[in-house]
C-alpha cells in the first residue's frame, strides 16, 4: 500500500493596515468613523497610562508591573469587537483591553500597589471582566469553563481569552483548548505572540513554525494576524466571536506583536536582547500607523491630536491623584476574600502573616 496524504492544513495570515497607514480596502472592517477614533483613543490612553506607570515605578510610587507598550492594538481591538455579555479573561499585558471593558484606570494603579480593591468592579459595569491572571496560561481553562457554562445556560455570550506566546507551553493552554473544542464552547483564544517570555525568545519556546497552527491540532479554525494592525485584530476577533455565538465553536488567533519594554519593571532586557531588535519593532508599532490611517481617511489632524493628548494626560493625572489620595491600605486584605466568610485556618494564617510583617518592620526600623 502506498503512503497517501490523509489530511493537509493551511495557516492564513491577515494584515489590513500597513506601517504607512495604507489599507487593503476590501478587508477594512465596517466601523463608523467615531468607532475608529475611539479605537485610537483607547490605544493612546493605554500608552500614556503605561508610560506614566513606568515613571512612577522608577520614582517608588508604583509597584512592579508588566508594561504593555507596543501591544495596545491586540487587546484594544479585540475588546472593542466584544459584546456586552461576553467574558474577558486575560493575563497582565492587556491594559488597553481592560480599560475598554470598563476597568477604571485608578483600579489598575491600586491593583499594582497591592490594594485588593483594585480587583473590585464598579457596580453594574465590567462585571464580565475577570481579574488579571498572573499564573501563566490559567485563563485558558477558565475560558473553556466560562464558555461551557454560557452554552449550558443558553446565553448568547462568548468568551475572549488573551495570553502570551509562553503560555502555549503550559498544560493549562492545551487543556483549555482541547476542552473548548470537544465541548464546542464559544471561546476565542487570542495569543499575543510578543516574541519573548521574559528572557526566552519565541524560537526557544516552541519549534512550531507558527503558533496559530496549534489550533489545528485541537480541531479548531486558526489564523495568524499582524498584531500591530488594530484593523486585522478587530476583523479576526469579530469573525471568531460571531462564529462562537452562532454555535460553531472555538477559534485560535495568533497576533504577532512585540514587547517593546521590559518583561516587568523588575527585568532588564539589555541582558538578553539587542537594541537593534527592539528598534526594528518600534518602526512597526501600532499607534503611529493607526494615526496615519486616520489622517489618510480625513478623520485626523494635528489639532485633533494635540487636543486628545491634553485630554488623555489630564485623565491619567486625575487617576493618579485619586489613587495617591488613598490611605486605606490593609496588608492582610487578601485574607478577607479567600472564602468570603470567616475561617479558622485562614485566621491562623492571617495572624502568622501579620506577625511576620511586624518582624520585618522592626528589623528595618
Ligand atoms: C505557571 C507559571 N509559571 C511561571 C510563571 C512566571 N512567569 C511570569 S510571566 C512569564 C512569561 C510569560 O510569557 P508569555 O506567556 O509569552 O507572556 P508575556 O509576559 O510575554 O506577555 C513567566 C514564566 C508564572 N507566573 N506562572
Ligand atoms: Mg510573550
| Full DSSP string of 183-195 | TT--EEEEEEE-S
Cα three-residue angle 266-270-275, rounded to 5 degrees: 135
pTM of the prediction? 0.96
pLDDT level of residue 267 (50, 70, 90 thresholds): very high
pLDDT for res 172: 98
Domain that holds residue 204: 13-329
Dist. CA 241–CA 248, nearest whole Å: 10
Cβ atoms of 109 and 53 closer than 8 Å: yes
Q: Helix count (H) and strand count (E) of the chain?
A: 14, 8
Q: How far apart are the first and last CA of the chain?
A: 81
Which phi and psi angles does 327 have, rounded to 5°? -135, 30
b/e for 66-97, b at 16 or more Cβ within 10 A? bbbbbbbbbbbbbbbbbeeebbbbbbbbbbbb
* Span from the CA of 267 to the centroid of ligand 1 (angstroms): 13
Q: Length of the chain, please?
A: 365
* Ligand 1 within 6 A of CB of 205: no
pLDDT level of residue 117 (50, 70, 90 thresholds): confident
* Ligand 1 within 6 A of CB of 263: yes
Cα torsion angle, 314, 318, 319, 321, sign? positive
Question: Minimum-distance ligand to the CA of 170?
Answer: 1
Specify whether 262 is located in the same domain as 345: no
Specify whether 296 is located in the same domain as 362: no
Return all residues near 23 (Cβ < 8 A) that are at least 6 apart.
Answer: 16, 17, 231, 293
Specify whether 221 is located in the same domain as 362: no
Q: What's the structural domain count of the chain?
A: 2
pLDDT level of residue 142 (50, 70, 90 thresholds): very high
Specify whether 360 is located in the same domain as 314: no
Known active-site residue 259: yes
% of the chain at pLDDT higher than 90: 91
Specify whether 270 is located in the same domain as 357: no
Per-residue pLDDT tens for 79-93?
999 999 999 999 999
In a domain, 3, yes or no: no
Specify whether 270 is located in the same domain as 364: no
Cα torsion angle, 165, 334, 107, 328, sign? negative
Specify whether 205 is located in the same domain as 354: no
DSSP state of 121: P
Specify whether 20 is located in the same domain as 78: yes
* Span from the CA of 108 to the centroid of ligand 1 (angstroms): 19
Amino acid at each position: 500500500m502506498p503512503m497517501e496524504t490523509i489530511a493537509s492544513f493551511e495557516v492564513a495570515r491577515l494584515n489590513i493596515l500597513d506601517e504607512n497607514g495604507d489599507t487593503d480596502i476590501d478587508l477594512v472592517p465596517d466601523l463608523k468613523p467615531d468607532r475608529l477614533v475611539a479605537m485610537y483613543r483607547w490605544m493612546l490612553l493605554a500608552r500614556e497610562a503605561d508610560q506614566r506607570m513606568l515613571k512612577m515605578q522608577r520614582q517608588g510610587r508604583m509597584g512592579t508591573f508588566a508594561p504593555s507598550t507596543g501591544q495596545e492594538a491586540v487587546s484594544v481591538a479585540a475588546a472593542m469587537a466584544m459584546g456586552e455579555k461576553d467574558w474577558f479573561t486575560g493575563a497582565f499585558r492587556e491594559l488597553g483591553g481592560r480599560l475598554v471593558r470598563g476597568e477604571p484606570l485608578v483600579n489598575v494603579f491600586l491593583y499594582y500597589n497591592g490594594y485588593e480593591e483594585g480587583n473590585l468592579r464598579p457596580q453594574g459595569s465590567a462585571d464580565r471582566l475577570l481579574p488579571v491572571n498572573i499564573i501563566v496560561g490559567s485563563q485558558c481553562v477558565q475560558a473553556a469553563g466560562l464558555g461551557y457554562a454560557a452554552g449550558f445556560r443558553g446565553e448568547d455570550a462568548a468568551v475572549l481569552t488573551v495570553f502570551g506566546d509562553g503560555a502555549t507551553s503550559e498544560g493549562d493552554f492545551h487543556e483549555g483548548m482541547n476542552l473548548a473544542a470537544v465541548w464546542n464552547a464559544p471561546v476565542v483564544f487570542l495569543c499575543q505572540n510578543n516574541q519573548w517570555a521574559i528572557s526566552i525568545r519565541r524560537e526557544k519556546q516552541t519549534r512550531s513554525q507558527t503558533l496559530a497552527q496549534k489550533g489545528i491540532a485541537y480541531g479548531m479554525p486558526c489564523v495568524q494576524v499582524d498584531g500591530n494592525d488594530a484593523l486585522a485584530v478587530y476583523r479576526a476577533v469579530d469573525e471568531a466571536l460571531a462564529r462562537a455565538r452562532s454555535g460553531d465553536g472555538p477559534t485560535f488567533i495568533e497576533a504577532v506583536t512585540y514587547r517593546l519594554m521590559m518583561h516587568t519593571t523588575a527585568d532588564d532586557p539589555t541582558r538578553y536582547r539587542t537594541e537593534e531588535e527592539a528598534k526594528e519593532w518600534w518602526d512597526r508599532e501600532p499607534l503611529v500607523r493607526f494615526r496615519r490611517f486616520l489622517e489618510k481617511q480625513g478623520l485626523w489632524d494635528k489639532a485633533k491630536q494635540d487636543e486628545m493628548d491634553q485630554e488623555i494626560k489630564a485623565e491619567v493625572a486625575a487617576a493618579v491623584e485619586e489613587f495617591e489620595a488613598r490611605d486605606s491600605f490593609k496588608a492582610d486584605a487578601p485574607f478577607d476574600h479567600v472564602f468570603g466568610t470567616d475561617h479558622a485556618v485562614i485566621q491562623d494564617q492571617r495572624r502568622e502573616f501579620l506577625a511576620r510583617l511586624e518582624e520585618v518592620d522592626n528589623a528595618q526600623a
